[in-house]
Structure 1
């Protein structure tokens, strides 16, 4: 007997009137239609309205289309946080192409690998980076892309190396070009390469659906309303700026571009342009805390979203004293940037500052647009108890998880094993359902059978008044197997000895967690500003100095 079909399954099909593919491209169309004369982009003396920005994006899409670049083709861009990168986030996918925003701090061999691996058909490059781009193009093993120069008046040095410049390229395009319709929201919208600290970086592929949802998720978790004025301190090449090129456009806000991320420039932009929101890694907070200049405008709260390494509670507390309200998020390149937020409870406002900062340093709960988040045994996927002590790996799943790694099915399969995305991060689950990172699986220190979270030790080090930056790694030890080794950068003009640092830790940590060695000096960092712990581990094995 045939089952009777539900009435909800009959005559209620998808059609153009009730279904369209999710894509962030509609945000630009709406901003230009509803707020055509509102300020969209600020860059030096340059000002663009939303009408002008939409026309330029359509010209870019049209020019790409006329050059035969369209669906599934890669368009790379090498530039700092300038208007052309905002435009590329809309104009490139409007042509059906995939945007690959390159990290401006990378070396020529790595860029050459990315351009070759991603099969870039066109490269838009800022004049200031002509040297490294010329070297990368010479090292490419595949067909070379058409090169278009950005001749930014604020660029320092460099040469024009392309076939034509960006403005001439836009002049080829039609300002009324409607763009290619997105018929499948699973289509790729961007390509982002991981840091590649070991071997070649992996190419993380985003789709239109995920970009749309995470852009909306940012609005939801940050309480964004009205027309925010957003300062670009977070690199747009990093996870597509955590999807904020689309988030701010959705709200017809103002993108304040910042070519160089320096404390003075940040503080000046905040006051000059009335900045309401900005994002950045904890290093940005440390930079602002240690600048002699302070904001002169009092009484106006500035919202800051931070991620990357868990911010030390002392840093959060210091920033909030300066008038910044910190929202802590957590994510990875593979999940479009932030996917977890330390969702704040109003009753926490009555707690002492140090306790508020400690709670805010936790990673938190899933974004509303993330389907699943758990801390579990990495082998069995059995969730750990919510006791704030049992460590497990952090797992995620849902619509804001990447499509996979480009041309790397083996890595994609491993990342998605068991139907969850394996982050490689270790953490605990608190009784209130909030997760807290304890370490990367490769960074945990096992000393005498005890697990030591390097993050916990680093948080204590950051509380020392002389410490600017700190990183802790395992140092081989004949008796204990491993012991904590601290690498510390002191604040300018500050002084501290190894004995003083160790004594400070002794006052705040269990005995087995205290660093046995402290090495002073600058910390090695990746091109995205992350501390290179693999370098420090090598130094710790050799017992060498920070400059080794």
Structure 2
């Protein structure tokens, strides 16, 4: 088997294309490795040592990947920062992570300056892609150092902060392995192998979500390590994705259900215009996919749509399109080496078909929430951990998700999971997006509220409201039917599809508190 890994491929095939940037320019393996070497030497010259942290506020681009590999080979943690955050939120990440260097793009200049100032980051630790006042050009990092690899070579790691849907985000920090960074992690190649993806097998990856997300970053960087051309999108655009699939002969990607819905909303003639026959594995996760959306994508793209459920913290499940058609709604069986258990409130394992908290574990891997021992402890039962998701296992070990425990509605003493209602509303042709949650009710404790973004061209009025409620009544038990429906122009989702339901729910509960 041919040896793989960024630096091995750069030595053997320096002109091989590693990255296609959002502007269409191409970066070879030799060029990517050289940038990673220069930045790695520069970070060591600043005094950074293995275990130190570099934070990056960058869009999808070649500099983001160059810095990832610079930190990867020098034993540093890289913290990719969500560029939707504002100054104080970014400052918290800089302070909490203990970042000793900060690299930002000029399009986020105001946020970067405010965050660096609030965190008290010295001028010598600030670098910019483009022009940011008080930040040195990134091109100066390592420019005065001798050519060649950094002096200290040891494997680093990303430290990605959880999205913070409740409370402040926490960094998921794994112990450094001390491994040789020239050798790609066996676990990474094994992970892509779950989806039928291997080294030098003519795969082409398209990255259509921001690289600050764990899975997105992992897929892109592992693809490069395995010798796959990686095509970057600056922002998701449904038709542009189809164009890239056709022109770059894309074979796989990591996507989210929101992107599926945007693709399906394209006019039929636009969808038919592009050749997608190169696709082999279109992998989706991050958020539950409404069954009707999944079914339509399989009908369009064929049996290449693969679902998985996983966590930044480790472990997960996977299900092929063929399996899913036999078990609609399942997210599959555990990966080899991964443990999935459904436990009750007391930590006892529940029988087949009974809903409880989903716990998982990946082999012997370990992690902690950075500077939050209590969160680490409360998420565990032994070595198993939970994200707070509710689900159940069938008799063949297939996992089904119900909802997050924090989102469960208790109305009149009955537990109702919003995801079930959301799936039914999402399938309605007049609905573009939907969220369901509980709001205060003086007698029942909570009542069910639906918030809907109508599809393009649909009038948000009482008639639509009644059509949607009638649709739910025809599909679900009466106690699951929302008591009311509100309409909005947009739901608060991040660009990886994660819904910040708390932002919708909190005002209703705040109104009750003021009334008391």
TM-score for the superposition, normalised by structure 2: 0.88
Q: Secondary structure at the match of 1:334?
A: coil
- 1:460–1:508 CA contact under 8 A, matched in 2: yes
Change (3 A) 1:145 1:110: farther
1:344 aligns with 2:320: yes
Report what 2:334 is aligned to. 366
Worse-superposed segment, 203-212 or 129-138: 203-212
| Distance in structure 1 (CA, Å) of the matches to 2:6 and 2:364 | 21
How many residue pairs align between the two structures?
494
Aligned-pair CA distance for 1:170 = 4.6
| Distance in structure 2 (CA, Å) of the matches to 1:368 and 1:237 | 27
Select 2:133's aligned residue among 161, 164, 174: 161
How big is each residue's C-alpha offset from its partner over 1:225-255, in whole Å with a ceiling of 9 and x where there is no partner? 3132111112211116251233202321011
Aligned counterparts, 1:290-305, within 5 A:
290-292=265-267, 293-294=270-271, 296-298=273-275, 300-302=277-279, 303-305=281-283
Report what 1:123 is aligned to. 102
How big is each residue's C-alpha offset from its partner over 1:267-321, in whole Å with a ceiling of 9 and x where there is no partner? 2322232221111221111122223432523460523211122100111122233
Q: Secondary structure at the match of 2:250?
A: coil
Change (3 A) 1:191 1:429: same
Report what 2:257 is aligned to. 282
Report what 1:196 is aligned to. 164
Report what 1:468 is aligned to. 432
Change (3 A) 1:420 1:306: same
Aligned-pair CA distance for 1:360 = 5.3
| Distance in structure 1 (CA, Å) of the matches to 2:254 and 2:495 | 18
Aligned-pair CA distance for 1:396 = 1.2
Report what 1:444 is aligned to. 408
1:514 aligns with 2:478: no
1:65 aligns with 2:44: yes
1:428 aligns with 2:379: no
CA RMSD of aligned residues (A): 2.7
Select 1:311's aligned residue among 279, 284, 289: 289
Report what 2:470 is aligned to. 503
Select 2:344's aligned residue among 377, 392, 405: 377
| Distance in structure 2 (CA, Å) of the matches to 1:84 and 1:212 | 22
Report what 2:230 is aligned to. 255
- 1:76–1:99 CA contact under 8 A, matched in 2: yes
Structure 1: tracts of 5 or more residues without a match: 1-24, 152-158, 349-354
Aligned-pair CA distance for 1:142 = 6.1
Select 1:32's aligned residue among 2, 10, 14: 10
Change (3 A) 1:178 1:467: same
Report what 1:273 is aligned to. 248
Worse-superposed segment, 291-300 or 79-88: 291-300
Worse-superposed segment, 478-487 or 499-508: 478-487
How big is each residue's C-alpha offset from its partner over 1:145-185, in whole Å with a ceiling of 9 and x where there is no partner? 6111113xxxxxxx433543223325334452155343xx7
Change (3 A) 1:227 1:30: farther
How big is each residue's C-alpha offset from its partner over 1:395-414, in whole Å with a ceiling of 9 and x where there is no partner? 11235855201122222222
| Distance in structure 1 (CA, Å) of the matches to 2:272 and 2:46 | 48
- 1:124–1:148 CA contact under 8 A, matched in 2: yes
Q: Secondary structure at the match of 1:120?
A: coil
